[in-house]
Amino acid sequence: MLTYMRLLLEKAEETHVHIGRRELRALGANVEYFPGVESWFTRINGYVRKSAGRAVTIRHYVISAGLREILDGVTIKRYFRQIFASEYHYNHHQFATFPKTLITDTTKTQYLFRINKGMEDPRESINSHMPLTERPIPFENIIYIGDGETDVPGMAVTRQNGGNAIAVYREGRTARARRSRGVCRELLKAGRVNFVAPANYSKGSLLEGRVSLLLDSIVARISYQRELFECRREEGVG
């Protein structure tokens, strides 16, 4: 990934093309989504509101090995609380000069712990101990959706810490689609994901149904834990 980011700048320099934030952000407008993605967040947010009212708040994050600057230009950016992705450093002309932040398959796990601990600023150290009871977003409340092999470590860490993961695959009969489904099947077999589903985010899709099922279980557990806490408080048992 680091070599790719550097090579991109070198090739641009050879052809006298400057890569800046504006140019990369403009590429985000051309990103093609899987079916249903653009209405997904409104539907899922509405589902949680209907299930839990104001008792539960849902947040959406992106952890990507891709370029942050491109993701800043996508039409669905407003739905994300935070985007963690690879970035360039820019000079005073706002042209990219060298890779500043690099996210790979293994470093994705760092950002899961940032979300877990509520330390979303990359300048904050996440190495200090934080009791599980003090972490703002417990792993068991996380649903990790991934569509590639770079997501495997993130899925594994999420599941190992009690969270949930879904592997989505491309539909179709192409070699790429068959390989994508094969990877998902192996992840399911190894217990690294709860479910697999086609990468179709449309209303009524299999993916929406399985995400809704996981959300139901999370909301129910949160309600149970709150009621348990209230009962113990009422009875003075701490």
The enclosing domain of 90 has a CATH number of 3.40.50
Asked if residue 158 lies in contact with residue 199, where contact means CB atoms within 8 angstroms, the answer is no
Taking residue 37's Cβ as centre, other Cβ atoms within 10 Å add up to 18
In which domain, by residue range, is 166 found? 2-234
- Per-position DSSP letters for the chain, written without gaps between them: -HHHHHHHHHHHHHTT---BHHHHHHHHTTPPPPTTHHHHHHHHHHHHHHHHTTS-----EEEEEEEHHHHTTSTTGGG-SEEEEEEEEE-TTSBEEEEEE---TTTHHHHHHHHHHT--STTS---S---GGG-SS-GGG-EEEE-SGGGHHHHHHHHHTT-EEEEEE--SSSHHHHHHHHHHHHHHHTTS-SEEEES--STT-HHHHHHHHHHHHHHHHHHHHHHHHHHHHHTT--
Phi, psi of 64 (to 5 degrees): -135, 145
pTM: 0.91
**Which residues, given as ranges, of the chain have pLDDT below 50?**
none
Give the count of domains, the chain: 1
Asked if residue 136 lies in contact with residue 87, where contact means CB atoms within 8 angstroms, the answer is no
